[in-house]
Chain A
Amino acid sequence: MFKKILIANRGEIACRVIKTARKMGIKTVAIYSDADRNALHVKMADEAVHIGPSPANQSYIVIEKVMEAIRQTGAEAVHPGYGFLSENSKFAEALAAEGVAFIGPPVNAIEAMGDKITSKKLAQEAGVSTVPGHMGIIADADEAVKISNQVGYPVMIKASAGGGGKGMRIAWNDTEAREGFQSSKNEAANSFGDDRIFIEKFVTQPRHIEIQVLADSHGNTIYLNERECSIQRRQQKVIEEAPSPFLDEETRKAMGEQSCALAAAVGYSSAGTVEFIVDGDRNFYFLEMNTRLQVEHPVTELITGIDLVEQMIRVAYGEKLAIEQKDVQRNGWAMESRLYAEDPYRGFLPSIGRLTRYRPPVEEAENTRAVRNDTGVFEGGEISMYYDPMIAKLCTWGPDRATAIEEMRNALDGFEVEGIGHNLPFLAAVYDHPKFIEGTMTTAFIEEEYPDGFEGVTLPDAELERVAAAAVAMYRVCEIRRAQISGRMDNHERVVGTDWVVTLQNEAFATHVDADRGGANVTIGDVTRRVESDWTPGQTLARLTIDDAPLVIKVDLISAGFRVRYRGADLQVRVRTKRQAELAELMPEKVPADTSKLLLCPMPGLIVKIDVAVGDEVQEGQTLCSVEAMKMENILRAERKGIVIKINAAAGDSLAVDEVIMEFE
């Protein structure tokens, strides 16, 4: 076996690879940029080599720098992780030239699958189902109808030069095909000056399902079941699971066998993924093949018990696969949530900064449940603007889908992240969404279910009462402690009462608390719940049981209560005596300050350009300025018509979240 490997990557995947290498007794070399000087992967590796400035194009993806690090450390093989150089055939060639093993597929496989047209052609030749369609130019409406019938309805009629929905029509029958052809052609001519039209199968209710394949260099290829990755936001996967709740045995087998055929056809070895789009009738069509380890590989590992990184290393060393297709298990269900440093309340804008708190749930692997967290960050670490905003992949496993989901909900509730904006609340919301629970989601799920973005979660009444019961029991502990302060008037101490009004999410619950040594019985209306916990004031994560059912909530002290975060909801929970509650009722509701006439900086970032001047009248949608954050240039546009009366920032300024960039009349 290799003595030493270099991991040409950073973040969670570098850490993930190091773990397996260490398990196999292989020494590891990390590479790092300026920004990653103190990163977790650097700490974990046996050796670390600095390879340049923070931007990836000056460090992680500069082949010569990585090669130099290999020469320096004498690493015998390189694991590229995903992204960066993982699908770069030039890198694979450079390694081969120096006799260093690439822990990935052969160069020709990378090249063949790296090109969309070539890969589709190869797939067709290997008997893989591809999206049916006619790539040639269509002469007239009659031909359009003929081809539509060959392809099978529904079809998509597309302008060759099209984009942004223009020159696109969906047809379900001959009439629509005829009309669609004509209008697409006209629209295309007008919009693009190019009226060439083609037709392909329109995939209804599309789902993204992919097959994990594993091949050795001795001609053995197996598939390790599928992963469902339909929960995506702008092509970025958010939640993945294995197996898919949608596939039947027959489809799975067909997809798996075709994937293996494709892999074999290109002489594939190592781990790879064949991505398919699957329609509502379980017709599946090849999209592309990823010639690397996928981000979401842990869900496959959890249901098959196979360590994919280990297999990749063994294959790269020239070993034969020890597993045959018949040995591949599909055991239970696994979920993966990608934790992104993106603020869901602000249109998922990237968020950077210091992780003042980072406490993932405890990793566990039992017979009936498992929690796994692949991460590349740590409490006190910095989320920089230079790299991918994904900071962790939280996975859970259970014997069935419902259990895996429930495990995930609890794991998300117990995951503490502070200092940056992150998508934990959004993830929690998805796991409680009926469509997701049913497993009937498509790739349009987020777009369709959250068309106006994410605005937080409203808890159902039953959950509110559970939270209220927990809050009152906890608050009473705080109040009793307060009444134990020194300097009290003897015999005139404060007696902490048993009746409290809990207000949360605009509802008030009158509660009665009977506390004892082990917990409290909390009565709301005519229901009494038993609340137990070892929580003490100051802990920001409270693990309770309410009538023996677990309740995990994040709590921060606020005036007369707690801020509680639970299942994606973010609540101000007030606990007051009856008298206090009655007087609080008299307090006026204060409306938040009107910021509609201000342009606020939506994220911490650098002003690249201000596009307007004081006195300008701007129209709705007009570009006002651009802000760079996380290497992304974000264009801020006017939400309504108005006149600029003041500009507070200039190009080159670094702004914090919510700083006022400009003001309108």
Chain B
Amino acid sequence: MTDILQELELRRAIAHKGGGDDRIAAQHSKGKLTARERIDLLLDEGSFEEFDTFVAHRCTDFGMEKQRPYGDGVVTGWGTVNGRQVYVFSQDFTVLGGSVSATHAAKICKIMDMAIQNGAPVIGLNDSGGARIQEGVDALAGYAEIFQRNIMASGVIPQISVVMGPCAGGAVYSPAITDFIFMVKDSSYMFVTGPDVVKTVTNEVVTAEELGGASTHTKKSSVADGAFENDVEALAEVRRLIDFLPLNNVAKPPVRPFFDDVGRLDHSLDTLIPDSSNAPYDMKELILKLSDEGDFYEIQEEFAKNIITGFVRLEGSTVGVVANQPMVLAGCLDIDSSRKAARFVRFCDAFEIPILTLVDVPGFLPGTGQELGGVIKHGAKLLFAYGEATVPKVTVITRKAYGGAYDVMASKHLRGDFNYAWPTAEIAVMGAKGATEIIHRADLGNAEKIATHTQDYETRFANPFVAAERGFIDEVIMPHSTRKRVCRAFASLRGKRLTNPWKKHDNIPL
């Protein structure tokens, strides 16, 4: 009997060794941790329950039958993050390069099915050389099985991908479908075709880092939502993100004890808006000062910085924040910022996370680059996302809300629940100067008259009261009371019930 028990221990020990000491050392020398070490960091200590420890592939081509390691290059199972259940798969680069075979894929599919069934997030730690070439179409079929599950899980459970090594070719499309992609600086890359193929086909000479490193994907392509210094930091920060997310689309956003005053006033906000209406200020200061304990988890921090997206807590409960950033491009909407914010709004709506929108937007960015790039359809994505969202929506206009961008930014007309404005708000079709030049075209030659007209326009429209007269602004609030007002607004919306007409799905302008 003891022998039989020992046999299990023995086999487990072999499985836990992955690709063996040499390959583990090689992995470490690249600054990367092993699949199991990563799971140790992601999950609560001792909470990991493994599935399919002993699964091995069934390929017999090219001598593959001679090496059939336990686990087949991926560690799968479930565990907890701060006591909340999550499913995880972690590809093991030390075992057959973490390559995806039919069985490797089947292991991932198994936990994804469980995750959807049981309503818990899936976190994928990607570190794989790609499809296992020896298996041919079996490997491709495996990928597609994963994709299909990613698609089915989308909007049902949060899916997070952490790219911690190579992720190339078809493999990229699993993370691509998930809600968030994080990368590790200097040790991960993602691309559909690598530098060699690029060279052959287009003659471009490019490094893997330039083509698909963390910097490329967080700053230029926007494929990734964030990048971290190393594996340890990446996994610690993924834990932090999970604390903001609900377990599934029918669970409430998580709540935890908080040490901040709901009614906290911050008088420094009364001077946040500069005297000159063209001077920039940092919208992040408002986000930090109104959120619980100044804790903000930013999504896509490095991309389209003219809009800020991320999670905060109010009264201990998660709220998604979308905010124009006057420091960058005057906070205007453009193709990139619209896409970035639209996706974030839709994530929040899918998972019942209330949305706070902070508005200081001078309009859409003009130019051929924008128009030829299709800013009409991209801008429409954000409009669509806000309009279809049924979660509690609270909006605060701090300064400019001009033109179509006013409508887009969670206006009253898009079923905004609370639309507040600071006394510094200017809600108008456009800035006073531009408006005057159109309305009083005849006087364009007369600088004095134009100045008077501009002054008149400013007096009439550069304030929140015209909109407030019409009820488009529910209340003009003091900047220092923003936290209190916003907290109370969301508190009053805890019972919100709003459903859209039945449809198979909508047809957002993709």
Contacts and interface: CB of A to CB of B under 8 A. Distances in A.
B270 interface: yes
Interface string A528-539: 000000001111
Contacts of B258: 538
B254 A356 contact: no
B53 interface: no
B196 interface: no
B52 to A, nearest CB: 21
29 contacts: A354-B271, A354-B282, A354-B285, A356-B285, A380-B267, A380-B270, A481-B259, A483-B82, A484-B257, A485-B83, A485-B256, A486-B256, A487-B251, A487-B254, A488-B80, A488-B83, A489-B84, A489-B85, A492-B47, A492-B83, A494-B44, A494-B47, A494-B83, A560-B233, A580-B232, A583-B232, A587-B230, A588-B31, A588-B230
Contact of B243 (A378, A482, A537, A579): A482
B39 to A, nearest CB: 11
Contacts of A634: none
A446 B182 CA distance: 46
A492 B243 CA distance: 17
A367 interface: no
Given A485-B82, A485-B255, A489-B85, A586 B33 contact: yes
Interface in A459-491: 481-489
Contacts of A537: 259, 293
A538 B292 contact: yes
B271 to A, nearest CB: 4
Given A487-B251, A580-B232, A583-B232, A481 B45 contact: no
Given A381-B271, A489-B85, A587-B31, A481 B236 contact: no
Contact of B41 (A357, A378, A379, A580): A580
Given A380-B269, A559-B237, 10 more contacts: A354-B271, A355-B268, A382-B271, A489-B80, A494-B47, A538-B260, A538-B295, A560-B232, A587-B31, A590-B186
B440 interface: no
Interface in A521-568: 536-540, 557, 559-560
B477 interface: no
A380 B271 contact: yes
A586 B47 contact: no
Q: Counting chain B CB atoms within 10 Å of each CB, which of A577, A588, A590 scores highest?
A: A588
Given A481-B257, A487-B247, A494 B231 contact: no
Interface in A49-80: none
B294 interface: yes
Nearest to B272: A380
Contacts of A557: 295
B252 interface: yes
A130 B260 CA distance: 62
B45 A579 contact: yes
B50 to A, nearest CB: 16
Contacts of B254: 485-487
Ranked nearest first, the 4 interchain pairs of A and B with the lowest CB-CB distance are A538-B293, A380-B268, A488-B83, A536-B259
A579 B44 CA distance: 11
A37 interface: yes
A538 B82 contact: no
Contact of B80 (A382, A484, A494): A494
Contacts of A37: 275
Nearest to A497: B45
A586 B45 contact: no
Contacts of A590: 185-186, 229-230
Contacts of A579: 40-41, 45
Contacts of A97: none
A38 interface: yes
